[in-house]
Amino acid sequence: MLGVMTNAPGDRPVTDDLATLADLTAHDASAYLTTVTEVASGSSPDTAIPVLTLALSQILVAGARLGAIEDVVPEERYETDPGADDDPDPLRTGLANVFNGIDDYADIVDPLTSVELTGGAISNDLADVALALTHGLKHFAAGRTAEALWWWQFSYLSSWGDRASSALRVLQSVLSHLRLDADEDDVSEAEFDALHP
């Protein structure tokens, strides 16, 4: 039988398994926020793409765990107000500066129901994911574990999972182009040097 952990008054008791999931998700969310904030500062532009590719991959694992469990339903019908959302614009602007020239991309609205194309931006996606994760972290920090899990799960399925997946696909494409699109003369010289030491 699963143990039960109590949390904030009025919040539904949370099993040990869900408490562990909440702890893991909070850790992963915090790690994502730290990474994205560091990249947005512009301090390490040379590593921004591979570092963000890793951060998005890791937070999508957290989302997949949330998507794999039954719906988390908090006891209260309405979400407790965790306070004002953080302003995502400074983060979004910093990321847009890092991705200047490669920020915008083409996206499909819904691959199952429509072939309609729309525009996306890596900076918007990364900031939107950060905002959703921060919202859940506020519930978690206040001891509202079930509400934090509910929010992370709901927002993963409704918004940030899609945005993180789109951004990851674009960053992986950028990384592939950077690593594989080499100048033919450079390749020929490298091959010649390798064959004639």
Tens of pLDDT, residues 133-183: 999 999 999 999 999 999 999 999 999 999 999 999 999 999 888 878 766
pLDDT at 188: 57
* pLDDT tens for each residue of 26-74: 999 999 999 999 999 999 888 999 999 999 999 999 999 999 988 888 7
Question: In which band, very low, low, confident or very high, does the pLDDT at 192 lie, cut at 50, 70 and 90?
Answer: low
For residue 194, give every residue at least 6 positions away whose Cβ sits within 8 Å of its Cβ, in sequence order, or none. Answer: none
> Which residue type occupies 193?
D
pLDDT at 191: 56
CA distance 84 to 87: 9
pTM of the model: 0.81
Where do runs of H (alpha helix) occur along 69-121? 89-98
Where do runs of H (alpha helix) occur along the chain? 16-40, 48-68, 89-98, 122-141, 145-155, 161-180, 184-195
Report domain extents, the chain. 4-195
Count CB atoms within 10 A of the CB of residue 76.
14
Considering the four listed CATH numbers 1.20.120.1550, 1.10.357.10, 3.40.50.2000, 3.40.50.720, the one that applies to the domain covering 4-195 is 1.20.120.1550
